Amino acid sequence: MRRGQGVKIGIIIAVLLLSIWYLYPTLRLAIMSTAAKGKMDPRELAKLEKRAVKLGLDLKGGMHLVLEVDKTKLSAKEAPGAVDRALEIIRNRVDQFGVSEPLIQRAGKDRMIIELPGLQDPERAKELIGRTALLEFKLVENGKEAKGLFDRMDKALSGGEKEKKGEETKLKEMFKESPAGSLEAETSTSEEEHPLSYLMEFMDQSYGQVIVAEEDIPRVDSLLSRPEVKALVPPDMELEWSSAFDNYREERVKKLYLLKRKPELTGAHLTDAKVTIGRGLDPEIANRPVVNMRLDRRGARIFSRVTGANIGRLLAIILDGKVYSAPRIKSKIPDGRAIITGIGRMTEAKDLAIVLKAGALPAPVNTIEERTVGPSLGEDSIHQGTNAAIIGMILVVLFMVFYYKGAGLIADLALVLNIIFIMAALAGLRAALTLPGIAGIILTIGMAVDANVLIFERIREELRSGKTVRVAIDAGYSRAFRTILDANLTTFFTALILYLVGTGPIKGFGITLMLGIISSMFTAIVVTRVIFDSLTTGREVARLSI
Amino acid sequence: MEFLTGTNVNFIGKRKIAITGSLIVILIGIASLIIHGGPRYGIDFSGGTLLALHFSKPVPADQIRNALKDVQLEGESYDFSRAEIKRFGASTDVAVRVEEMGTGTKVGDAIKASLKAKFANYIPPKESDWVLKQEKVGPKIGRELKGKAVKAIFLALLIMLIYISIRFEFKFAVGALVALFHDVFITIGIFSLLNKEFSLAIIAALLTIVGYSLNDTIVVYDRIRENLRLMHRAGYGQAINSSINQTLSRTIITSLTTLLVIFTLYFLGGKVIRDFTFAMMIGVFVGTYSSIFIASPILVEWEARSAHRRR
């Protein structure tokens, strides 16, 4: 036996055993039927799945989100910790939502990457992750205050309109002979003089709450957003819409509330939130989902004081700037319990409870990138991808045997080992196999073959020049080695850059390509050499099947 | 079995034709880029929203366009009928792409809601089967990804220039670099001619082409380095020409096996990676060509000019 041959064989066997150990969970899972998986101890199964080769979102289906924390409204004191807090809160929410193996990490200064594999309802997840969930309790101003404000707004608006229409009105006045409509105009609200309150209706004059018909909402919104109107809202008050539509006299309406700007209490004092189905006679509550909240000791004390001091007033429960409900305070509430009503569906209530428990985000987040792959596309991709890879590999294997005969068979063995090593490395490194990753593996198949082609062509050349088999093999390997090294190293650099600079799937491509290059160098040079040497030492070989 | 061994084709002698041919193809590509107003960027780079939907029955594109005329988004109606609508693989699958607008993923969700209302009968019973893909890339991310892609390509080229200069000579590095630019330009040009989109995956494909083409070039260079020592009497051009001939068999076989795999991927690998494998296919062809007809003849030209100057 040649020197070092034993060591080489030892290394190859060790690497192979290690690979099998890493691949064992993947293989077991692949062989197991769904029924068998169901029977297995779930903890055991989770352990296996954790050690198996992971599939990327593009193959498995799932959602990839990049969120940016909007720090523009934060003070200099709040800003630094905001992203970490948001990350923590979103992690809590996702944990309670129940997705297996979520990835939630910080990226750069203001960003977070969230990956949720195998997701069934992406829209719900987005809603759950992205909402700020700032819960506030604010007192509703009284009706007189609201009436006064809307009157002032009307005046500002109609004044502005009149200036524009000035000429026209003057003309009209000049030609008008009898003021027939003047009486009527004074008693009812006309659109011209009351452009805003014309669109609103007080249900009860004593509360600062009006209703607006669905079709008028955009108009009201645009009037309210005019700077001269906005400026009229006192600094300690604000206007907010109700979250959902109500039915009022067979019309779909929303409520507009005039609130105290300063919240009496926020969700920070919340300790628990649970969903139940409401009971009682109130149609707002009966048989509809209700979120029951519990406040901490301090929260309960504040709540007790606020409710005690404001009996008879409305207390609005506001989530992310939308009023969910504004019940009348009937009595002092001392036990720190409150409910949120006005929620449409049960799932919505459940999600609400989750976000309330997890806490409010310190600042709004914007989704700046989303990539969702539906489960069926993922299934298609993995099916077609693996099929293509296997067929491609079989074609290469056949070609090598056809062209290089016995030596081709040795190269094919190296090729199979190469694939095993790459998969094992992916499992060991916990790297995900993505679609570009499969492409990367296929490229390495090509390159692994290339190394052997280089060696075999050299050996053939040496044989042609009349050298013996033994010498030709030695010369072939040593001469081809430098070429293979140079060629592989340059490709390795490309892969490294892809890994370092790339994102998501391209990173995956870079990893598999790097692993593939290392592994193919090993199999194409070391493994095949050992086989050649074992076949040609100890006896005189006259002809080589190459 | 053997083929293409012991060939003696005068590759170097035909370098003028080859270089002219390449220049023409590159110029056509550049012309196409100018006519199209630059590369056609996918949403990865231009930003926007992409929806790929699977219907249970084929839905004509103009019906979808009609449905997009009035999309409710936060209480207001938007007209998305100028969206790009095309088939996504099978005839029942449709991809809708709209330009970037506003923040968040509301545009995609609003379009889905609008289509869901109008094509309720066409939606598969299991709703998770309906949405194949939903992507949204904000304009800021798009610009960043573009910057990163350009950076990656130049970084890759720079490192190779340095590596080859160290392992070989500077002129080899220049030759290899010209060949790489040649490959990348031709691939970009063909993509522009066929009006195909540039996405992140295509950038990965371009970089792989760079790696592959370089691999090929280095194998030839390695032989040239060896032959220049053995055949210094035969002259520079002769040494290079026989190097190309000696490695020709290997060059072709490796390209064949790689293409074998890429072809299977292209035809059987599914729609998601089709453009990626298409770019690779062009790249392997062009890369093989350039290592024979571009990278090596440049060495001859370089040597001829510097010999002329020495005299």
Contacts of B183 in chain A (CB under 8 A): none
CB count within 10 Å of CB B203 equals 24
Among B134, B141, B160, whose Cβ lies nearest the Cβ of A372?
B134
Is B155–A376 a contact, with Cβ atoms under 8 angstroms apart? Answer: no
HEC profile of A472-529? HHHHHHHHHHHHHHHHHHHHHHHHHHHHHHCCHHHHHHHHHHHHHHHHHHHHHHHHHH
**Contact in structure between A153 and A233 (CB atoms under 8 Å):** no
Single pTM value for the model: 0.76
**Host H or E run for residue A348:** helix A346-358
**CA separation for the pair A406, A462 (Å, rounded):** 17
Q: What does the pLDDT read at residue A347?
A: 81
Per the model's pLDDT, the better-predicted residue between A419 and A498 turns out to be A419
**Host H or E run for residue A238:** strand A237-241
Confidence class for position A236, pLDDT limits 50, 70, 90:
very high
Q: What does the pLDDT read at residue A11?
A: 92
Per the model's pLDDT, the better-predicted residue between B162 and A538 turns out to be B162
Work out the burial of residue A282: count CB atoms within 10 Å of its CB; fewer than 13 is exposed, 13-18 middle, 19 or more buried: exposed
Residue range A234-251: mean pLDDT, rounded? 87
CA distance A104 to chain B (A): 18
Residue A16 has pLDDT above 90, yes or no: yes
Residue range A78-94: mean pLDDT, rounded? 85
Confidence class for position B191, pLDDT limits 50, 70, 90:
very high
Question: What is the ipTM for the molecules in this complex?
Answer: 0.84
Residue B80 has pLDDT above 70, yes or no: yes
CA distance B34 to chain A (A): 28
How many A-B residue pairs are in contact by the CB < 8 A criterion? 228
Confidence class for position A187, pLDDT limits 50, 70, 90:
very low
Residue B303 has pLDDT above 70, yes or no: yes
Q: What does the pLDDT read at residue A127?
A: 82
Q: What does the pLDDT read at residue B1?
A: 67
Q: Which residues contact A189 (CB under 8 A, 6 or more apart)?
A: A197, A198
Alpha-helix residue ranges (DSSP H) falling in chain B: 15-35, 43-46, 61-67, 106-118, 139-167, 170-193, 200-230, 236-268, 274-290, 296-310
Is A439–B280 a contact, with Cβ atoms under 8 angstroms apart? Answer: yes
Class of domain A5-24+374-536: mainly alpha
Top residue of A216, A243, A372 to mutate, by most chain B CBs within 10 Å, is A372
Is A121–B128 a contact, with Cβ atoms under 8 angstroms apart? Answer: yes
Query: How much is the mean pLDDT over chain B?
Result: 85
Per the model's pLDDT, the better-predicted residue between B295 and A5 turns out to be B295
The share of chain A scoring above pLDDT 70, in percent, equals 92
Q: Which amino acid is at B176?
A: A
Confidence class for position A504, pLDDT limits 50, 70, 90:
low
CA distance A237 to chain B (A): 25
**Contact in structure between A463 and A472 (CB atoms under 8 Å):** yes
Token representation of residue B238 = 């002769």
Q: Which amino acid is at B281?
A: M
Contacts of A441 in chain B (CB under 8 A): none
Is B250–A457 a contact, with Cβ atoms under 8 angstroms apart? Answer: yes
**Contact in structure between A138 and A239 (CB atoms under 8 Å):** no
Q: What does the pLDDT read at residue A184?
A: 38
Residue range A71-91: mean pLDDT, rounded? 83
Q: Do domains A5-24+374-536 and A59-132+367-372 have the same CATH topology?
A: no
Output the CA–CA distances (angstroms, integers) from residue B165 to B159, B218, B227, in the order listed.
10, 12, 18
A120 to chain B: nearest residue by CA? B128
Confidence class for position A324, pLDDT limits 50, 70, 90:
confident
CATH of domain A59-132+367-372: 3.30.70.3400
Q: What does the pLDDT read at residue A188?
A: 46
Strand pairing class (B90-98; B84-88): antiparallel
In chain A, where the domains are located: 5-24+374-536, 59-132+367-372
**Host H or E run for residue A297:** helix A297-309
Q: Which residue has the tokens 């002092």?
A: A332
- Express each pLDDT in A274-292 by its tens digit: 888 888 777 767 788 888 8
Q: What does the pLDDT read at residue A185?
A: 38
Class of domain B12-42+142-310: mainly alpha
Top residue of B106, B107, B162, B258 to mutate, by most chain A CBs within 10 Å, is B258
| Fold (CATH) for B48-137 | Alpha-Beta Plaits (3.30.70)
Residue A182 has pLDDT above 50, yes or no: no
Token representation of residue A398 = 């056949």
Confidence class for position A178, pLDDT limits 50, 70, 90:
very low
Query: How much is the mean pLDDT over chain A?
Result: 83
- Express each pLDDT in B260-275 by its tens digit: 888 988 898 887 788 8
CA distance A336 to chain B (A): 35
In chain B, where the domains are located: 12-42+142-310, 48-137
